Amino acid sequence: MNTILEKEFLSPQVFRMKVEAPEIAKKRKAGQFIILRVNESGERIPLTIADADPAAGWIELVVQAVGATTKALSEKKAGDSIIDMAGPLGRPTHIEKHGTVVMVGGGIGIAPAHPIAQAMKAAGNTVISILGGRSKELVIMEDKMRAASDEVIITTDDGSYGTKGLVTDAIQKLIDGGRKIDMVIAIGPPVMMKFVSLLTKKYNIPTQVSLNTIMIDGTGMCGGCRVTVGNESKFVCVDGPEFDGHLVNFDEMIQRLGMYRDLEKESLDHACKIGLDR
């Protein structure tokens, strides 16, 4: 059982939660994730750790309520508890001095990008952060990202904030402007990571992506999270979650993410009928 200490909506669908997890808070490094179950009949879902305070003993999660489980989580309040939480899982991000690092965060992908930006900056990199969202309200954590970056560029699909356009437009502009980029780290919707990787491949810029696939155990036991990287099948839970974006088969990954689309809808409809906390 992990107690929720704070909860706040950042936009109508996006919320952040501080959860009591002293052992995980001590151990986690940037890039790692946890797996949680909301209640007794709940499924196990992976969520990236956005922040942690080892002294205070909490970790922070930033979640978009889209499916039955994330919606059930969104109904929890400070003082409620989460029945199961395991972590930190996955390999931490490899932090080193590359030179100029571009951090691309799309939507709630900005949350896990934040500790990586902090660590990259601490390692002596110049950090340019590109924050993208469909609209203004989906661009989250701007202040925190500004504090962790040397420069912040904001893009929205609808132009309601920052520059109208996609994160790839902003990367292209940096390249066209003659900025030397040594490393791109992209975290966000799979389609965004796919197009970031396609673009940077053209310019041979090393690119890391952080994948969030369907998982159950998170220890390598089930293989449900497998993706093709290069010509090999890799498990996101133990081999990842970060991979060389130029080698990931995103189309296959996106297809696998949709495996339960119909059933997820059914699950959500059912949960709405009987109460999300089934």
Partner 1 sequence: MENTKLTNKERLAIPPQKMPEQEPSERIHNVNEVPLGFTEEMAVAEAERCLQCKNAPCVKGCPVEVNIPVFIQFIAERKFREAVDAIKVTNVLPAVCGRVCPQEEQCQKPCTVGKSLKSVDRAVQIGKLERFVADWEMAQNTAVTPEIKTETGKKIAIIGCGPAGITVAADCRREGHTVTIFEALHKPGGVLAYGIPEFRLPKKIVGREVDNLVRMGVELRANMVIGKIYTIDELMENGYDAVFVGTGAGLPVFLNIPGENLNGVYSANEYLTRANLMQAYSFPNTATPIARSKNVAVFGGGNVAMDAARTALRLGAKNVYLVYRRSRDEMPARKEEIHHAEEEGVQMNYLQNPVRFIGDDKGWVSGVECLLMELGEPDDSGRRRPVPVKGSEFVIPVDTCIVAIGNASNPLIPHTSPDIKVTRWGNIIADEETLKTSKKGVFAGGDIVLGAATVILAMGQGRRAARAINEYLATGQW
The yes or no reply on residue 83 touching partner 1 (CB under 8 A) is yes
The yes or no reply on residue 270 touching partner 1 (CB under 8 A) is yes
Taking the least distance from each CB to partner 1, the nearer of 206 and 224 is 224
Taking the least distance from each CB to partner 1, the nearer of 132 and 218 is 218
**Bridge-based pairing state of the strands 163-164 and 84-89:** unpaired
Nearest to 51, CA basis, from 137, 126, 140, 128: 140
The yes or no reply on residue 219 touching partner 1 (CB under 8 A) is yes
The yes or no reply on residue 89 touching partner 1 (CB under 8 A) is yes
The yes or no reply on residue 256 touching partner 1 (CB under 8 A) is yes
Interface of this chain with partner 1, residues 94 to 133, rule: CB under 8 A: none
Question: Which of 144, 228, 246, 247 is the binder for partner 1 (CB under 8 A)?
Answer: 228
Q: Closest approach of Cβ 261 to partner 1, in Å? A: 10
Q: Which strands, in side-by-side order, build the sheet including 33-37?
A: 81-82, 2-9, 14-20, 58-64, 45-53, 33-37, 84-89
Q: What is the CA radius of gyration of the chain?
A: 18
Q: Closest approach of Cβ 39 to partner 1, in Å? A: 8
Give the separation between CA 171 and CA 184, rounded to whole angstroms: 9
Give the separation between CA 199 and CA 201, rounded to whole angstroms: 5
Residue 189, classified by CB atoms within 10 Å of its CB into exposed (0-12), middle (13-18) or buried (19+), is: middle
The yes or no reply on residue 81 touching partner 1 (CB under 8 A) is no
The yes or no reply on residue 221 touching partner 1 (CB under 8 A) is yes
Taking the least distance from each CB to partner 1, the nearer of 1 and 55 is 1
Nearest to 17, CA basis, from 7, 2, 27: 7
Residue 63, classified by CB atoms within 10 Å of its CB into exposed (0-12), middle (13-18) or buried (19+), is: buried
Point out which residues bind partner 1 (CB under 8 A): 23-24, 27, 37, 41-44, 68-69, 83-89, 216-224, 226-228, 233, 238, 252, 255-256, 258-260, 263-264, 266-267, 270-271, 278
